[in-house]
Amino acid sequence: MSVIITPEEYERELLTKNQSVKLDKMPQRRGKSKQTFGTPMSVLVAVQRQFGPIGIDLAATADNAVCENFISPEQDSLKQDWTQIVLPLGNIAWLNPPFADLDPWAKQLETVRFMRRWTLMLCPASVSCNWWTDHVRGKVVEFSTPRMQFVGSDSNYPKDLAILAAGFGATGYGFFDWRK
């Protein structure tokens, strides 16, 4: 003989059974890896061929800056107003930020999406992360790009990468193959 219960009773029974089950949150390991790897020259050459010369590196040290004009950790790029950065006509701003916490970088990138120049950010293609949905999707041009070996690393970066292009109010998707 079967017993028929209502959906409410079923839900109450499940909740009662599951009250004793405690799930531990998975610990996150943010920022455990080296965060100062440089961008490969082959990528930079392809970026400049496609978008124009790099006029400023928005997050660099003297050891890994990709051009003469850069914002150092001491100057704290996230405290700067990127909309006030003046570059020669046709020059772009470049950003290869530390990957440990990308939300503030993506938020800052979003501020320059209507500038009349390109600001490019190299980052993991973390399309399901909150920072991506909040500050990237539908606000910039998203280019997926092949994996690469960063300067100072002994292997390819293990995740898919993207180059985000903010500027001119442009949005969309594409593929940027820096190898060609």
Q: What is the pLDDT of residues 23-47, one digit of tens each?
A: 344 344 444 555 667 899 999 999 9
126 contact partners, CB below 8 Å, separation of at least 6: 102, 132, 159
Q: What is the dihedral sign for C-alpha 126, 96, 47, 146?
A: negative
Which option is the CATH number for 37-175: 3.40.190.10, 3.40.50.150, 3.40.50.2300, 1.10.3720.10? 3.40.50.150
The residue ranges of every structural domain in the chain are 37-175
For the chain, how many residues are written? Answer: 180
C-alpha to C-alpha distance for 61 and 69, rounded to whole angstroms: 11
- pLDDT score for 153: 85
Going residue by residue through the chain (180 aa), what tens digit of pLDDT does each one get? 445 656 566 556 555 554 544 434 434 444 455 566 789 999 999 999 999 999 999 999 998 999 999 999 999 999 999 999 999 999 999 999 999 999 999 999 999 999 999 999 999 999 999 999 999 999 999 999 999 999 988 899 999 999 999 999 999 999 999 998
The answer to whether the pTM exceeds 0.75 is yes
What number of H helices and E strands is found in the chain? 4, 6
Closest CA to 14 of 26, 3, 6: 6
DSSP 3-state of 92: strand
Helix, strand, coil percent content, the chain, rounded in steps of 5: 25, 20, 60
C-alpha to C-alpha distance for 147 and 144, rounded to whole angstroms: 9
Burial class (CB in 10 A: 0-12, 13-18, 19+), 94: buried
